[in-house]
Amino acid sequence: MLEFDFWTILFSLINILVLFLFLKKFLFGRVNAMLDERARLVQEEMDKAREEAQQAEKLRLDYENAMSDAKDEARKIIIDAQKNANAQSAAITQQAQEEAGRIVESARQELALERERSVASAQNEIVSLAMEAAEKVLGREIDDDANRAIMDAFLDEEEQA
């Protein structure tokens, strides 16, 4: 059977106690220091990762805000460009209408002037023909200036009537 010797148990306990103190002094301190250092490094990495995630989120928000601002600015530029294009179109149309009006008015004036020339030319021709006919009927030459004045007065009366 088992025999228990007091001294063996006592020396075994003393050996275990010395071994424990020895390990505690030389091994556990270093292991705990390494574990503490490792825990500190892990915590620093986690803090750094959290900070970088916050910075990334901030950059994403800044980017989204910048994109939103850029879209708003682009929309405003497009609206301004459309307004300018419409204003220019209206101005060009107005100028074209004014130019067309001037051309039409100029053509009317030219037509009226040409009509007056044609009427004056026709009157002169009629007067000349009437004077030639009167000379042939009378058989003598008529005072051209006096007769021309009489014919012009007659034609003026006819125009006014």
Write out the chain's pLDDT in tens, 161 residues.
Answer: 577 788 888 999 999 999 999 888 888 888 888 999 999 999 999 999 999 999 999 999 999 999 999 999 999 999 999 999 999 999 999 999 999 999 999 999 999 999 989 988 887 787 777 777 777 776 656 666 766 676 777 777 766 76
Helices (H), the chain: 6-23, 29-138, 144-160
* Domain ranges for the chain: 27-160
pTM listed for this prediction: 0.42
Evaluate whether 122 touches 155 at the Cβ level (below 8 Å): no
